[in-house]
Amino acid sequence: MSIFKDHIDAMSAYKPPLEGRDPVEYTLLDFNERTIEVVEPIREALHGLIDSGRLHMYPSYGDIAEQIADYAGVGADQVMITNGSDHGIDLIIRSACQVGDEIIIPGPSFAMYSQCAKFEGLHMVEPQYTREGGYPVDEVISSVTDKTRVVVVSNPNNPCGTIVSPDDIVRIAKAAPGAAILVDECYFEYSQVTVADRLHESPNILITRTFSKTWGLPSIRLGYVLSVADNINALLNVRGPYDINQFAVVAVSAGLKCRDLTLAYVKEVMEVSKPLLEAFLEQRGVEFWPSAANYLWVFPQNPEAIELALRDEKILVRPKANAEGQLGLRMTIGTEEQTRHLIDVLGRALP
């Protein structure tokens, strides 16, 4: 007999394929990360913390919430820092739901939402994205019941890159006033689409964001939640006082001070590399989903063979099946040089 709750025992762990990802050996296009090292001022700030004689102290967060608020264009009382955005997603779902409540998670989507829903014992409602129709807005609205406690809007969605307009998100928020509308803006810097300026209209919207994907800091974990101050205060009751480590705070503070360096990388990815890859795929007649993010979900005829061919040339991408079980390859877009190399290898591997 287990000491744990039955539904926890019945779950399986979320285990992304992280092992063996050597950044020297491989071009890592499999986790939607920044594909090059972090900018120098961040590295210097981290060395500074090691040498500061403060490692034996608990972390203190100073004015990091103010710095992030300034970057996000909201008040400091509208920000809560988290240990990566996974932590924010977990805290929101945990705080809003009880066993048996409903959560709407349009799929296919990022695994953490369903993982959190499972460990809270929630009933999942999963309308599907389509390549043509995008996020199923009307189906989501018609699925709302008096048991719905969370509606997920992954914006843009992983793996398909689909974006939902701020107007549609506000429409969903108004249709489900008793639910938390969890808007995951993990890839905000790439999409530039946000509802951060619409929080006053819909107090049930909670945005999660991260310094993992654009800023290159997934290893040290800093995310944040944006919402109206009352929601932030409630979530702060649940978050631990030391959940975020000092390295993350120091690195992000340094990164925000030289944000132009990071935003130059975003510009290269979105304005140079992505159009190159899209044009190549269109020219070769390979289907992919329209994406507002730094990745494309690509459906070649022979995905297994293409994945192996890329791996042989030291490029990693991520296989992801669609709702019909058809396998696609999610390809992270990096620098122009990396993208030209990817196109070169794909050009030889595609039939």
Q: Which one of the spans 20-28, 84-92, 224-232, 237-245 is the region binding ligand PLP (CB under 6 A)?
A: 84-92
Token readout for 42 is 């961040």
Site for ligand PLP in 22-41 (CB under 6 A): 32
By CB under 6 A, residue 231 contacts ligand PLP? no
> What is 29-77 written as a DSSP string?
-SS---SSPPPHHHHHHHHHHHTTT-TTSPP--TTHHHHHHHHHTS-GG
Distances (CA, A) of 287 to 31, 292, 346: 21, 16, 14
> What is 130-183 written as a DSSP string?
BTTTBS-HHHHHHH--TTEEEEEEESS-TTT-----HHHHHHHHHH-TTSEEEE
Token readout for 287 is 């289907």
The span from the CA of 345 to the CA of 334, in Å, is: 15
By CB under 6 A, residue 84 contacts ligand PLP? yes
Long-range contacts of 285-290 (CB under 8 A, 24+ apart): 286/350, 287/131, 289/131, 289/160, 289/161, 289/162, 290/131, 290/161, 290/162
Q: Which one of the spans 79-87, 117-125, 299-307, 308-316 is the region binding ligand PLP (CB under 6 A)?
A: 79-87
Residue of 74, 80, 110, 328 that binds ligand PLP (CB under 6 A): 110
Binding marks (x or -) toward ligand PLP, 198..217, rule CB under 6 A?
Answer: ------------x-x-----
Kindly state the number of chain residues that form the binding site for ligand PLP, as judged by CB under 6 A: 13
Residue the block writes with tokens 């935003």: 263
Residue of 45, 93, 104, 186 that binds ligand PLP (CB under 6 A): 186
DSSP state of 327: E
Q: Closer CB to ligand PLP, residue 212 or residue 339? A: 212
Residue of 27, 35, 78, 85 that binds ligand PLP (CB under 6 A): 85
Q: Closer CB to ligand PLP, residue 158 or residue 273? A: 158
Residue of 30, 86, 90, 189 that binds ligand PLP (CB under 6 A): 86
Q: Which one of the spans 83-91, 163-171, 249-257, 300-308 is the region binding ligand PLP (CB under 6 A)?
A: 83-91
Q: Which residues have C-beta within 8 Å of that of residue 284, sequence separation ≥ 6?
A: 346, 347, 350
Q: Closer CB to ligand PLP, residue 186 or residue 232? A: 186
Minimum CB–partner distance for residue 172 and ligand PLP (Å): 17
Residue of 148, 154, 191, 194 that binds ligand PLP (CB under 6 A): 154
By CB under 6 A, residue 294 contacts ligand PLP? no
Q: Closer CB to ligand PLP, residue 280 or residue 288? A: 288
Minimum CB–partner distance for residue 225 and ligand PLP (Å): 11
CB 258 within 8 A of CB 215: no
The span from the CA of 128 to the CA of 141, in Å, is: 13
Q: Closer CB to ligand PLP, residue 168 or residue 345? A: 168
CB 214 within 8 A of CB 334: no
Residue the block writes with tokens 């699925």: 143
Q: Which residues sit at the interface with ligand PLP, rule CB under 6 A? A: 32, 84-86, 110, 154, 158, 184, 186, 210, 212, 218, 223
